[in-house]
Structure 1
Amino acid sequence: MKKNRFLIILTISVGLFLLSFSLSYQLITNKSEDNKIAKIENNKLENDDKNVEIIKEEEKVSPNTIIEQRILYKECGDLIVTNQTPSTDIINMTKEKYENYLTNKKPFLRVISFSSNKIVTWGEKEHLCNKHFIIGEEDGKIAVFKIGEDGERLLHKIFVDYPVELLMELDRDEIKKGIRVDSEEELSDVLENFIS
């Protein structure tokens, strides 16, 4: 009886050993086949990636693009920021074409950022911005000048009843040089001193 038990246990043990061995062998061979298949698929994907051409659409000016123009006026230190929509002649321009356009039309400006949603430009000018006035002389009379786009003085108003000759010499010299004022309120105050 003891021998029978021993033989049964031995037979079951050998059977289990053989079964586990064959299962392990199948798992290992399946894994290596899976690895081979995975390598073949990866190589195929890599080759496909080499043949894929990536197309990136180039940014262009659209009718909805906002153009932000920042100009620093060095004489007064003012930074004027304006937003505008593009004119029809620059719609569909790429960044490079727009930069060439600026070089020809507004050489003092340069592009800081460019996208189809918003373009930001920067420029500097050596003169006053158009927020200022100059009190000066025109035809021997006290006059007020506005500042033009290129810093030129544009005649705004002449006080025909107030000749410069009637002023004291110090005031006359200041008027001939031009007195810069920075707002309409300041303009009224300074004019009051000369024409009252």
Structure 2
Amino acid sequence: MRSRRRTPYFLTFIIAWICFGIVGFLAGYYLHPLFNSDTPEIAIDENEKLPYNDYLHLDEYKENTESEPSDTPVTSYEDSIGTDTKVVFRTLFTSCQSIRDDVIEPLEEIIGLKEGGFRSFAEANFTDWQIVRFSKDEVILFRRKEQICPNHFFVSEQDGFIAIFRFNEAGERILIEKTSLPISVLPAIDQEKLKRGILLNTRDEVNSLLEDYSS
């Protein structure tokens, strides 16, 4: 009686290895995303999105900043005169090149006025003045006067004697003192100076000049 042949061991091993390889290939194809043709969808959590809400009002912010530039001039049409606003009337006296500031409290009629309204008021009430500054803190009106200001003393001669004068608001000379010093005793150059007049700033300067002439 003939015995049946057994399958060689190496053939069994080859078959098992081939089967294992096929199973591994199929498992990898269906489980690994690199072998799939469709792009996987990735869910994004709402909290992980870019902070787009921070930019929703950017246009509104730009409009506000552009309408109010950083280089706004000191004179601003938004300013208005208040009870604490300083109103300055500044006069340049061209004959002596002196500047005088007269500061007043704002009139009741101008409180609350903005620049346009105040300009209209000034044109009607301060015809000789020009507005050179307008703000809520200070308003300056300016004018020139072709005369000597009242702050000076004027030493000249009257009836042959040294005399001391001041000036009024109209620029007219007002005699305040006539000395007993005749100009005839002075050198010719000093007599000419006195006839033209000598402008001095203080009473001390006047007294010093008189002492020189009397010595």
Equivalent residue for 1:4, pick from 2, 20, 23: 23
For the pair 1:128 / 2:144, whether they are aligned, the reply is no
1:189 aligned residue: 208
Q: From the superposition, tell whether residues 85 and 136 of structure 1 become closer, same or farther in structure 2 (CA, over 3 Å).
A: same
1:168 aligned residue: 184
2:41 aligned residue: 23
CA contact (8 A) 2:81 2:112 kept: yes
Question: How many angstroms apart in 1 are the aligned matches of 2:96 and 2:183?
Answer: 28
Q: Which consecutive residues of structure 1, in runs of 5 or more, have no partner in the other structure?
A: 28-37, 50-55
1:77 aligned residue: 97
Bigger proportion of residues as helix: 1
After TM superposition, give the deviation of residue 130 of structure 1 in Å. Answer: 2.1
1:157 aligned residue: 177
Q: Secondary structure at the match of 1:89?
A: coil
1:47-98 deviations in whole A, cap 9, x for unaligned? xx9xxxxxx9842211100124433222112233454432333322322332
CA contact (8 A) 2:160 2:184 kept: no
Question: How many angstroms apart in 1 are the aligned matches of 2:102 and 2:212?
Answer: 35
Q: Which consecutive residues of structure 2, in runs of 5 or more, have no partner in the other structure?
A: 1-19, 45-52, 64-75
Q: From the superposition, tell whether residues 17 and 123 of structure 1 become closer, same or farther in structure 2 (CA, over 3 Å).
A: farther
2:14 aligned residue: none
Number of residue pairs aligned between Structure 1 and Structure 2: 169
Instruction: Calculate the TM-score normalised by the size of structure 2.
Output: 0.58
Equivalent residue for 1:91, pick from 101, 105, 111: 111
CA contact (8 A) 1:108 1:125 kept: no
After TM superposition, give the deviation of residue 14 of structure 1 in Å. Answer: 5.3
Report % sequence identity.
22
